[in-house]
Homo-oligomer: A and B are copies of this chain.
């Protein structure tokens, strides 16, 4: 959520000092647009109109374009904001979690959040962007790499599993969660299979 508070990058200066709060409302608008857009795109896919987003955000639709010059830019911004949030969360898990279980916690958490993440994956699909290529994804990827390596060092994930398939499995299960009648039971059972496949043989 805090990542929505960033002002436009052209205004790097801190708001403190002489109290130049000239664009407090602009910042607020930007944040509201991002928030609204994420929700709307999540609900209706990237085909949702900017007009609807503007309306639901309570601003004129010109204001959306003032903050994000194209629809594509808005999509990218959402992507980055979400990636930032996830990377932050993941990094916290890297630093404070139990290495043996943190990767599995993370995996589960991602799937739980999948309604939100649908946006990301959809946008990635629509934009034709390769997950591995998108810049803001990089931090997230690195955090995942660490979680995986830690789990392997702790002996809870097989040594021969590499990052690409780990990400593929995460993405896959998250996506699957969108296309079936997906209750907590089903989620648990699906993850159980995958987690079992990830564990070393001798550990069972």
Which residues of B lie under 8 Å from residue A178 when comparing CB positions? 125
Known A189-B162, A204-B201; contact A182-B196, beta-carbon cutoff 8 A: no
Instruction: Answer whether residue A2 sits at the interface, using C-beta atoms and an 8 A cutoff.
Output: no
Q: How distant is the Cα of A132 from the Cα of B194 in the complex, in angstroms?
A: 22
Q: How distant is the Cα of A196 from the Cα of B47 in the complex, in angstroms?
A: 39
Instruction: Answer whether residue A136 sits at the interface, using C-beta atoms and an 8 A cutoff.
Output: no
The count of residues in chain A whose C-beta lies closer than 8 Å to any C-beta of chain B is 41
User: Are A193 and B161 interface neighbours, CB within 8 A?
Assistant: yes
Task: Report whether over half of chain A's contact residues are helix, strand or loop; otherwise say mixed.
Answer: helix
Interface string of A28-53 (1 = CB under 8 A from B): 00000000000000000101000000
Known A124-B179, A130-B181, A204-B201; contact A186-B172, beta-carbon cutoff 8 A: no
Q: How distant is the Cα of A86 from the Cα of B47 in the complex, in angstroms?
A: 29
